[in-house]
Amino acid sequence: MKPLLLIALGSSLSDAPLGRRSDDVEVRAIPALPVPHALDLERPTVLALDRALLASAGDGACAQLRALAALIAIVGIGERGDDEPGDDFPIDLLSSFVPGDASPGTKLAAFRGAFRHAAALAAVRRARNAAVERGRELAELGAIGVALTAERDLGKLLALILSHARRVTESDAGSLYLVERDESGAPVRLRFAHSQNHSLPSIPFASYAVPIDSSSLAGYAACTGEPLVIGDVHLLPDGATYRQNRSFDDAFGYRTKSMLVLPMKTHRNEIIGVLQLINRKRDPEARLSTAEHVACTVVPFDARCVEIASALASQAAVAIDNGRLYEDIERLFEGFVTAAVTAIESRDPATSGHSGRVATMTVALAEAVDGLGSGPYRDVSFTREQLRELRYAGLLHDFGKVGVREQVLVKEKKLYPHDLDLIRHRFAYLDQRTELEFERARAELLLTGGRASYEAGLARLECDRRTRREELARFLDTIVQANEPTVLAEGSFEALEAIGQRTFVDFDGRVRALLEDHELQFLMIRRGNLDEQERREIESHVTHTYRFLEQIPWTRELRAIPHIAYAHHEKLNGRGYPNRVTGIEIPVQARIMTIADIYDALTATDRPYKRAVPRDRALDILAMEAKEGTIDPALLETFIGARVFDTTAGLSSGD
């Protein structure tokens, strides 16, 4: 780029050669002082300032010249007889002063010195701009690194890497390949994992694999670990082993020209993929529509692009490596959760599938709450991590059942099976005793009375035997019916109390109650099948769950799991357990899980101690709970409105 000399229109410096050749310097005549922002700051520029140019600026000359002096060199031009600049010249802004009648050598020395000054100003400016640009690039790379580190979804991460790489290199398109490994960890192929194209944004994506060898551009970068910088892929060096696959260009009418192919290496110098950037453009927003447009718009990737893209590729490699590690950890934890749920359900097969259904409905209800635009939960939202946290809490909410006695955990009726067997044996004994007493009385009647009295007495004995046996059968039927658990508190126990007051004489001649106290206590349970002690034992599973989950070193995103699971049996009115907290003391996640847990417990078909409650009846029961202040009515309304219960269709839950 030639230096530029600005002189006043009508002036001439032809007697002062400025270079070895007449065209070494461009001389441009101007009618007035130049405007600073109109100057080409990359070009060393000298202003020959005479009184005509000073006069053209008027009262603002001083300020304008001060701005110019920071950008270019200014040489004062005097008139004949002026040995030094007068008061009208800004002496402190001049690089030098040339008298009007100065010799050619004096003029030449002054202007060459001025051009050296102008070149120094341009160099300082370039250095300063380069430093600013370098700082901006470093800041941008830092911001990109933070963004890449924060994203853990591999698909989104790949898109983020490619979009940032294209932006910082002004590329029209790009692709990402990931290394696939065998069971031993050895790299076996490259998988085409993601692509973007600014000019063709709607092209379909199809994954494919390429070998890790020098036959393809991506394979070459992966196997050698070296970048490829190609000005035009149609003009590859004669000795190049790699070739550009032109099937995409042929299929979609695209013209791939310049390309930058970079291996992505981790901090362990392990290549995990290849970043391929295509068609660097003069105008980043331009769409490449024709081959001719490509020819005039696309430029090669320069050394600075390679440097920046290489730094970004290294960040991307670490981010992908971390993302995969995070996925591995998630799979590991998923396996642990699955094993934990299996352990729970192996102790209580009757509730098989309950934890999974509760987790599914809990997450679905949270997603429905997240979309509310009105109501008390309109400002509540859940991130992807919070939904995952909620899912794990749902899966593990009953883990503490491993600490509950199995006979209590799997109890089906109000009485334990052996207790009911004892009662049946007792009634069978009484039935046999009734028969024995009948036969004894009949024999005595036959021995002591005549035929006429025998016939009359036998009828009385048979009636008495029938009455006693029918009474025993009625008592036993009442006991069997009372042994069935109920979902809601219902019925009275007068008949049972009457039976409990009856006595009999056992084999040893002792008078005993027809029903033992503990038997009567169990049979008179008004709701469900557990007495108070058993209920407290079952309720203790929540505390066991919390103590177990509290021992796990959760990540920041999952640290609320123990507290959510701990509160899923709390009630808004303080009548829940284990801590009897109320209202806002119960996390909203736990309130959500409570509704899912109750609904599944009501409708599940796999509970041997009760029949499944139909969906509509279950929703009516939930509505009663909300009316009584035990569960959140707004969340229940959302549960019903969003038909959250449909999310477990086909997962072994009731209708």
489 has pLDDT over 60: no
Model confidence pLDDT, tens digit, residues 138-192 = 677 677 777 777 777 778 888 888 998 899 899 999 999 999 988 888 899 999 9
Ranges 205-214, 283-292, 387-396, 524-533: which has the least confidence: 524-533
Q: Residues 276, 256: contact at Cβ < 8 Å?
A: no
The rounded distance, in Å, linking the Cα atoms of 138 and 556 is 29
Pick from 385, 374, 372, 160: nearest CA to 275:
160
* Amino acid at site 478: T
- CB 574 within 8 Å of CB 580: yes
Both tokens of residue 579?
Answer: 């801590």
How many other C-beta atoms are found inside a 10 Å radius of the C-beta of residue 179? Answer: 20
- For the segment 625-643, the average pLDDT, to the nearest whole number, is 95
Four-point Cα dihedral 447, 449, 455, 457, nearest 10: -90
In whole angstroms, what is the distance from residue 529 CA to residue 523 CA? 9
Q: Which residue in the block uniquely carries the two structure tokens 């969906």?
A: 615
Tokens of 574: 């303080």
Residue 187: which of 263, 262, 241, 259 has the closest Cα? 263
What pLDDT, on the 0 to 100 scale, is given for residue 350? 67
Token representation of residue 625: 């709970």
The pLDDT-based confidence of 20 (bands split at 50, 70, 90) is: low
What superfamily in CATH does domain 151-326 come from?
A: GAF domain (3.30.450.40)
Regarding pTM above 0.85, the answer is no
Question: What is the rounded distance in angstroms from the CA atom of residue 437 to the CA atom of residue 464?
Answer: 11
Give the residue among 389, 340, 388, 393 at the shortest CA–CA distance from 594: 393
What secondary structure letter does DSSP report for 193?
E
Give the C-alpha separation, 191 to 177, whole Å. Answer: 5
Q: Which CATH class is domain 348-408+534-648?
A: mainly alpha
Helices 354-370 and 303-347: angle between axes, nearest 10 degrees: 130
β-pairing, 209-210 vs 228-230, is unpaired
- The pLDDT of residue 655 is 37
Which regions of 300-372 does DSSP assign to beta strands (E)? none
Confidence (pLDDT) at 101: 81
Closest CA to 30 of 54, 62, 14: 54
pLDDT in tens, 333-374: 889 888 888 888 887 776 778 999 999 999 999 999 998 989
Extents of the domains making up the chain = 4-127, 151-326, 348-408+534-648, 417-526
Q: Do the bridges between strand 73-77 and strand 96-98 make them parallel or antiparallel, or are there none, so unpaired?
A: parallel
Cβ-contact 507, 430 below 8 angstroms: no
Residue 608: predicted pLDDT:
56
Q: Which amino acid is at 159?
A: A
Ranking 325-329, 447-451, 485-489, 505-509 by mean pLDDT, the lowest is 485-489
Q: What is the CATH architecture assignment of 4-127? A: 3-Layer(aba) Sandwich (3.40)
Q: What is the pLDDT of residues 270-321, one digit of tens each?
A: 899 999 999 999 999 999 989 899 999 999 999 988 988 888 888 888 888 8
% of the chain exceeding 70 in pLDDT = 93
Whole-number pLDDT of residue 457: 85
- 218 Cβ partners below 8 Å, 6+ apart? 175, 177, 190, 210, 261, 274, 276
Rg (C-alpha) for the chain, rounded Å, is 46
Sequence letter at residue 116: R
